[in-house]
Amino acid sequence: MPEAPSAAHDAAPDTVLVVDFGAQYAQLIARRVREARVYSEIVPSTMPVAEMLAKNPKAIILSGGPSSVYEEGAPQLDRSLFEAGVPVFGMCYGFQLMATTLGGTVDNTGSREYGRTPLAVSKTGSTLFEGTPEHQSVWMSHGDACSKAPEGFTVTASTDVVPVAAFENDEKKLYGVQYHPEVMHSTHGQQVLEHFLYRGAGLQPTWTTGNIVEEQIAAIRAQVGDKRAICGLSGGVDSAVAAALVQKAIGSQLTCVYVDHGLMRKGETEQVEKDFVAATGVQLKVVDAQERFLDALAGVSDPETKRKIIGREFIRVFEQAQAEIIAEAEGGPDVAFLVQGTLYPDVVESGGGTGTANIKSHHNVGGLPEDIEFELVEPLRQLFKDEVRMVGQELGLPEEIVQRQPFPGPGLGIRIVGEVTKDRLDLLREADAIARHELTAAGLDREIWQCPVVLLADVRSVGVQGDGRTYGHPIVLRPVSSEDAMTADWTRMPYEVLARISTRITNEVKDVNRVVLDCTSKPPGTIEWE
């Protein structure tokens, strides 16, 4: 988890650290802890133990990972972590690492367990398993097994393959399970996790959206002081909630700027100008920069270059707006801050979360120029998308804004595979509007997390329209279901809805003669095409 602003971090007394050993589920663990109403953040396993303890965690969770604990170069932890008096819960690799570090035995037995596995609980009244059944289904993913628990630990569960599938040491508040309690396939996994948090670590479920709002308002006021800030409204839930938070914190010191860069979807400019202003009462400045963005993007097809150009021009427009706002204020406080709706998944995918590789640059993270003149205010940087929506509801934003599908900062510029032109934008806007209308009419808005509509601008395929041969562009539908965009699966939409969308687009949108469905999960594919 990226570090929170210092004021907000200091205000969170009950923090659980999730130590990431390269697990595909590390972010999910953090989410599950938060669902238990306890604040969590992720740190890399390479962080020295002294730095982890300096964060004053009330509990620590060790994630799974792809390594074997006995392999050369496998991630390790200093024994001092287990002797610091902080409750620790190991999962999968974290469980095995705890076992070997404290004198237990982990070996490659030649038997593996993957997927749903029957677990036999031998101590049903233990700290972890109180109130859960003696036989339950859990999600396993391992090739090594713990055959001997460390001294002082009680074995509380096993499987047909693993003699030590869970152990507990109440005296030292150290616990571990071989399986993944954070995934929904572990039928009592959330209950076991909450037992560790509440019973093992003695934490209280007090972290709520109200806490988030209070902490961030305090942090924003401390950061901004008596200066002024501007915030770019994109029409999306992220920028809307970020702006509403800052507005609540500093009131008239904030001016929201809507940059009409010509890359928005149909009708969204009007929505920003009317709905959001009516809901929050913010000061809004609209800048028409459509020609500027189109000129800057002319001849550019590379997606990363497009992202960086859009990010650069966005900042330049903001600098221009800043000068105008200062002039209008007649020598008032400096406009020194730029508010952004950066989310945790943005930071992770840009390589800023736990030392991960850069998957793609984000408009809110990786696309900013180095000579930026603003100090960033990012009140949502710690949050997942569903938490942002809850904060929006807490702030009283309209349902149409809070439940709006995610939309990328670079807009339709990265939903056109190829050069961005006005004609191509107009074409994509019409196709997108048809898809959104039909999804809403079918009552699928809540079921579908996001449905990017993509124009393959540099591709033409043969078609037959009006008894004539055509060479039109394909339109790609990318409906996905997700909780937080870290992982996603394509949504199985009803065929009749797909048929209506396809028929309307090919009939009503000029130069389109083919509609295709993207049925790729994430991973391996990202949600957006570029």
User: Cα-flanking dihedrals φ and ψ of residue 404, to 5°?
Assistant: -65, 140
Task: Report H helices in 208-274.
Answer: 209-224, 237-250, 268-271
Query: Is 182 annotated in the active site?
Result: yes
Catalytic-role residue among 168, 182, 215, 530: 182
Catalytic residue among 113, 146, 180, 215: 180
Residue given tokens 């055959």 in the structure block: 147
Instruction: Answer yes or no: 180 catalytic.
Output: yes
d(CA 307, CA 360): 9
The residue to which tokens 């009552």 are assigned: 443
Phi/psi at 26 (nearest 5 deg)?
-60, -45
Among candidates 88, 85, 106, which has minimal Cα distance to 175?
88
Which residue in the block uniquely carries the two structure tokens 């940087």? 381
Sequence-separated (6 or more) residues with CB below 8 Å from residue 465 = 472, 506, 513
Q: Name the active-site residue from 41, 92, 194, 451.
A: 92
Are 403 and 440 in contact by the 8 Å Cβ rule? The answer is no
Q: Structure tokens of 64?
A: 């799974």
Is residue 230 within a helix (H) or strand (E), and if so which, with residue range? strand 228-232
Among 406, 518, 500, 506, which residue's Cα sits nearest to residue 454?
A: 518
Contact of 23 with 95, CB cutoff 8 Å: no
Structure tokens at 488: 């996603």
Q: At what angle do helices 290-297 and 303-329 cross, to 10 degrees?
A: 150
The answer to whether residues 298 and 419 touch, using CB atoms and an 8 Å cutoff, is yes
Q: Cβ contacts of residue 412 below 8 Å, gap of 6+?
A: 263, 264, 265, 420, 425, 428, 429, 432
Distance of CA 447 to the CA centre of its chain: 18
Instruction: Please tell me whether the peptide bond between 523 and the residue prior to it is cis, using omega within 30 degrees of 0.
Output: yes
d(CA 395, CA 68): 46
Residue 471, Ramachandran bin (φ over 0: left; ψ between -120 and 50: alpha; else beta): beta
Which residues are CB-contacts of 264 (< 8 A; sequence separation ≥ 6)?
234, 235, 411, 412
Q: Going by C-beta distance under 8 Å and a sequence separation of 6 or more, which residues neighbour residue 466?
A: none
Residue 256 annotated among the catalytic residues of the structure: no
Helix (H, G, I), strand (E, B) or coil at 368: coil
Rg (CA), the chain: 26
**Distance between CA atoms of 124 and 127, rounded to whole angstroms?**
9
Tokens 């790729």 correspond to what residue? 520
- The residues carrying an active-site annotation are 92, 180, 182
